[in-house]
Structure formats: C-alpha cells, structure tokens
Structure 1
Amino acid sequence: MSSTRQLTAAHAADLTAALLDGGLPDDPEALVAFIAELEKLKSAACAVQADAAVAYDGARRSAEAAEGVSARRQGRGVASEIALARRESPHRGQTLLGLAKILHHEMPHTRARLADGTLSEFRAILLVRETACLSAEHRAFVDEELCADPAALEGVGTRRLVATAKKLAYEIDPAAVVRRARRAESERSVTVRPAPDTMSYVTGLLPMAQGVAVHTALCRDADALRAQGDSRSRGQLMADLLVSRITGVELVPDAPTPVPVTINLTMSDATLAGGLAPGLVDAEPIPAEVARHLAAQSLSAELATWFRQLYVDHTGRLVAMTSKQRVFPDGLADFLGARDLGICRTPWCDAPIRHSDHVTRVSDRGATTGDNGQGLCEACNHAKESPGWRQQVVDDLRHTIETVTPSGHRYRSTAPPPVGWREPRWINDRPGVYTLVA
C-alpha cells in the first residue's frame, strides 16, 4: 500500500482516542451520516489490517529463510500471531491471513472495495470463499467483473452478491465447481456446541439431498404424531424423534427422550447437598438445581452415571499432580482438561483441548507436572513450536501463563476458577480493620 507517511500503532491509537473522546453530533441527520462514515472507517481499517498481515507474513518468512528454516516451515505460527493481535481464535486468524494474501495477490478490486467501504470484511470473505475453486486467472476475472466498478455494488445484498459470484464461477470453470462439490461431500460431519439455558446445538453438515431427506422425514413423522393427539409442538417432536432414532431409545410421551449418559459434572459438595453454587459441564456453568436434576434423572433411569469431584486447597486452587514421564499420563491429562474446562488455554481460542502440552518444553528441562501443563488445541500446540515462541508460568496460584510471540508481544492466559471459588474481597470497616466478605 502506497502512502505519503508511514503508519504506526500510535496513529491508530490516536484515532481511537479521538473517536472515544469526542462528542456525538446533535443533529439527527448528522448522526446517520456519522454512522455511515464509521462503517466506511471499519472497512478501511480491515483493508489496512490485511496489508499489514501480508507485510508481516513476508517479513517473518524472509527472516526465517535467513536463519535456515526450511521453506515448508517458514511462516508457521503467523496466523496465530495475527489471531492474538486481533483477539480472535487461531482458526479465524488463518481465515484472515488467507483473505489478506488473496486480496493482495489475486483480487485487488475486492481489496479496493473493502478500502473504500463498499464491501465489508464479511462480504469480502464470502467472495474469496466462492472463488476458492478457481485458478488465479479466473479468480482475477470474477474480481474485475464484480468489484472493478464500485457503483455496481450499490444496493446489492449479500445473498445476491454470493449468488452472482457462484454463477460466474460455474460459467468460467464448471468442472472446478463440480470438483469442489464432491470434495465438500467428503467433509460431512456432526458437531456439538453449547447453547443458552443448558441447551446444545447438534449440527449435521450433510450433502443437500441427505439433509433435505432427514428434515422431511422428521417433519412428516412429527406431524403424524401431532395428528394422533401428541401435545408437543412440531419442533419438540422433531427434536425428540431425532434423539430417539439416533440413540435407539424409545420415544416417551410428552417429555424429552431419556438417553444413557456419562455426566462429566464438576460440582462442589455444597451444590450437591442443596447449595446454590453452580455446577459445570465442561466449561458451561449450569444452575445448581439443574445439576442436581441431571444427576437424579440419570440415576433414577438406571443409566450409566459417573461423577467427577475436584477438590481445592485453602486458597481455592485445584490440587496439582506430578509425573516423571515425558508424555502426560491419562490421569494427569484428565486433570489438565478439567482444570482448563476442556477449552484451549490460548487467549481467545474456544477450540476444544486436543493436546496436553508442556508450558516449558521438555528440551528446556520442563517437568511433566500439572503446574507445567496446559491443554491446547492442535493448531495452537503446533504454532507455539515455531521459532521465536516462548511461554512461562508467571503465577502459580491461579496458573497464569505468559506467551511471548516472535514479534515480542506478550499475552497472558489464566486458568478458569474452580467451582465455588471467588476472588477474596475485603471491606475496610474502620481504620486498620478489614473484614473478609468473599
């Protein structure tokens, strides 16, 4: 990006301060105009962020090449650094770095529309995604066709924009689009993630025909049960039928389908006895009454039920475990997963734990202990093995880890507090006298 002066983080900080310190316009029309300009500013900032990401990636690769790092390993960890700087997950960082490179090298018109505010970063990502199956030359054609003229994007909705990109891609290279569809079929999967109010989302990524067939069958059978007098709503019946057919448990009238479960539930003895402190299912807090109901329901149904109780010392810290092994044994790995609530310890990463990792590497005399252990996702574990990454435990009490990236920036991650733990709070009753209230 050409410029008359070199931009720095201080310039961005000054702009942020000016926005936060200034007052809003009084005129309603001026307020709308201000909102519109702020939207353009957000898009322009994303374009400059993309330029900075490409520049940093190039600088890191050049430096690592000079140090003798193999071409295959050069640039490893850059996406994770960008994610940390943008307070995003490593997966999102990889997406943003990929977007930046494509805008810089293959889709300059899309980058220009991002810079002038005609496109948002989200819409730019969609255009990049829909042209991913094309060659660089064909992608450049779609880029010019759609984004060379900023006026052509005025009033165009996201759905229409994506549909036009898909149509152009198919017209240019139908074989590539077909190959992409076949490859997508190989990525079919089922995932689960928490939802509000102790619910969960179970998502099946299926080919179109199979997805429609599943939904149609559930709709048909739910409507049949309602016609027979079942009082549940259509959505409730579809959900209960789905659980029943997948687990093999018989559908019960007017209630969620019971299932054989293992409750990986961490709750204090006070909660189990009738207190109000919440329980935890992995990282999700659930009300004490709901936790007790889960336990009672599984036991009364004579289902397989396990309870895991973690105890803390007088400071509220989980009791650590030690080992002389190079690899974390199952028990210690379970401890790390429970302490970190099943979520990767990298800041802003919400991925599930896949690896038990040494904070200080074994090659640097790091011990295989709870204090020197952390749960990481696969991407973050690989990223921290790149040249220039360092980690250390800076607070044993709350298990706070400091990560230093190759650029010298520092980020801290503190283990979540165990169930029932509270930060100590003191009230100054009178001069020199303090009372502990929590």
Structure 2
Amino acid sequence: MFDSIVPAEMDPVKPVPGDPGAVLVRAAILELANMDQDVSEGVRIDRITALEELKAAAAAAQARETEAFVASRRETRAAAGVAAEKRGRGLAKEIGLARKDSPNRGGKHLGMATTLIREMPHSYKALAEGRLNEWRATILVRETACLSVEDRARVDRELCADPKTLQGCGDKRIGALAKQAALRLDPLSVVRRAAKAETERHVSCRPAPDTMAQVSCLLPVV
C-alpha cells in the first residue's frame, strides 16, 4: 500500500580482506607469475591448456559468488522492508565495481550468473570443470534466451550433460547446435526473437583513435 521508506540502494558492500578463499586465489596468482620458465615446449602447451581450464573455472566461481551475493542482498533488503520491485536496484553497479567493470557490464555478468546457476546447471558444471570456456557458455545462454525455463533446461541437458557432445566444437558450431535445439523445441519463440531483433536495427557512429570515426550498422540479413 505504501512505498517503503527504506532506501532501495543501500551503501555498496565493502570487500572484507582475509577470507581463506580470496587468500588462496591471490596466492595462486603469485604462483602463476613465478612459474619456472626453464621448461620444454610440451610443458608450455600443457600449461596453456591448464590455464585455459583455470580461466573457465574462475568464471564459474565468479558466477556462483555473484548469484549468492545477489540472493543475499535481496534477502537483506527484504528484511529491511524494501519493496520487492526495488530490491535489485544497484546490484549491477556493485557487481561491475567488484569486477572492475562498468555498471552496464555488471548487469550482463549478473544476468549470466543467474541464468547459469538457476537454469543451466549442466553448462555451469562444464564451465566449472574447464570443459567450456566463458564465451561459449555465453553463446549458450544467448541462444536460449528466447526459450521458456523448461525448454532452456532441455537444451542445457542435451548439449552439456554429456561431455562428449560439444567436444571439439568451435564457437560457430556450438551456436548452431543451440539455435537448432531452440528452433526444434519452440519455433515460435525463435521467430518472435528474430522479429524483435529487426525492430532494433540502427546505424551508429563513434570516435576512433587518430582522428578517425567508426560507423557501424545493425541490419537484418536479406
């Protein structure tokens, strides 16, 4: 009936140093910087693979922490009497700040984390195990965005439950498989998505280095 008098945007949460998890991560960063360089080419290739897997696992861990933070923040605001529709205010900004990124990017990170944790557990598991990199997980999230939660879960299970399904697949192939699955499960939603995308066509111009300008356009494929 009445709007809450409690401000929806509370002060940003400040980092608390000394957490064993964060200490472990930062110690690993130092170890990576000091790895022995007197090694063979084969060892370097193996390290490159391991580091790629580590990047994916770190992305999954960030997603897990992001989702847990958002859930906790919403609960705190609910307990403080903040109206339900206002409990998410400022969260994208906080996530962006934590990731040394913009609020806009923070919102995208937040959405990605929520989707992976709540709706695409197999994709999340593949990311956490280093079998799927962050960009390919993003492709799966993007290509299933038009589906219902149930259909999205089916695509997630179909493509990521078995580690062999996407083994050896590149970005384009993964995107194509996700699109095909979405089209098979709910063709109408895919058509609606394409129609909506067409309404967002535009031409833009932005500054570029060395007194240049970059002109780009977003147009439907004819």
**Normalised-by-shorter TM-score class:** 0.7 to 0.9
The equivalent residue for 2:6 is none
Report Cα offsets for 1:217-245 as digits up to 9, x if no partner.
xxxxxxxxxxxxxxxxxxxxxxxxxxxxx
Q: Which blocks of at least 5 consecutive residues in structure 1 are unaligned?
A: 1-5, 210-438
Q: Cα distance, 1:24 vs. partner? A: 2.8
Corresponding letter in the other structure for 1:117: G
The equivalent residue for 2:211 is 198
The answer to whether the aligner puts 1:68 opposite 2:81 as a matched pair is yes
The equivalent residue for 1:324 is none
The equivalent residue for 1:266 is none
Q: In 2, distance between residues paired with 1:74 and 1:54?
A: 14
Over 3 Å counting, the alpha-carbon distance change for 1:172 and 1:124 in structure 2 is same
Q: Cα distance, 1:197 vs. partner? A: 2.5
Counterpart contact for 1:134–1:169, Cα < 8 Å:
yes
Corresponding letter in the other structure for 2:163: P
The equivalent residue for 1:44 is 57
Of residues 108, 130, 151, the one that matches 1:138 is: 151
Report Cα offsets for 1:311-360 as digits up to 9, x if no partner.
xxxxxxxxxxxxxxxxxxxxxxxxxxxxxxxxxxxxxxxxxxxxxxxxxx
Helix, strand or coil at the partner of 1:203: strand
The equivalent residue for 2:12 is none
Report Cα offsets for 1:1-39 as digits up to 9, x if no partner.
xxxxx8522121111111113323511101110111011
Corresponding letter in the other structure for 2:78: A
Q: Cα distance, 1:162 vs. partner? A: 0.3
Q: Which blocks of at least 5 consecutive residues in structure 2 are unaligned?
A: 1-18
Corresponding letter in the other structure for 1:48: A
Corresponding letter in the other structure for 1:74: R
Corresponding letter in the other structure for 1:52: E
Counterpart contact for 1:47–1:114, Cα < 8 Å:
yes
Q: In 1, distance between residues paired with 2:126 and 2:20?
A: 21
TM-score (ref. length: structure 1): 0.45
Q: In 2, distance between residues paired with 1:197 and 1:146?
A: 45
Helix, strand or coil at the partner of 2:217: strand
Of residues 191, 196, 204, the one that matches 1:183 is: 196
The equivalent residue for 1:19 is 32
The answer to which structure, 1 or 2, has the higher relative contact order (CA under 8 A, 6+ apart) is 2
Query: What are the within-5 Å matches in structure 2 for residues 82-161 of structure 1?
Result: 82-161=95-174
Report Cα offsets for 1:178-208 as digits up to 9, x if no partner.
1111111221222222223321111111222
Q: In 1, distance between residues paired with 2:109 and 2:42?
A: 35
Report Cα offsets for 1:78-131 as digits up to 9, x if no partner.
111111111222221111111111111110000011111111111111110000
Helix, strand or coil at the partner of 1:96: helix
**Which protein is richer in strand relative to its size?**
1
Corresponding letter in the other structure for 2:160: C
TM-score (ref. length: structure 2): 0.88
Q: How large is the RMSD of aligned CA atoms in angstroms? A: 1.4
Q: In 1, distance between residues paired with 2:41 and 2:64?
A: 35
The equivalent residue for 2:178 is 165
The equivalent residue for 2:9 is none
Larger Rg, first or second structure (1 or 2): 1
Helix, strand or coil at the partner of 1:150: coil
Q: In 2, distance between residues paired with 1:91 and 1:150?
A: 33
The equivalent residue for 1:389 is none
Q: Cα distance, 1:170 vs. partner? A: 0.6
Q: In 1, distance between residues paired with 2:64 and 2:200?
A: 31
Helix, strand or coil at the partner of 2:213: strand
Q: In 2, distance between residues paired with 1:7 and 1:183?
A: 47
Corresponding letter in the other structure for 1:124: A
Corresponding letter in the other structure for 1:67: A
Helix, strand or coil at the partner of 2:203: strand
**Which protein is richer in helix relative to its size?**
2
Q: In 2, distance between residues paired with 1:137 and 1:25?
A: 51
Query: What are the within-5 Å matches in structure 2 for residues 20-419 of structure 1?
Result: 20-209=33-222
Counterpart contact for 1:80–1:94, Cα < 8 Å:
yes
Counterpart contact for 1:25–1:31, Cα < 8 Å:
no
Corresponding letter in the other structure for 1:128: V
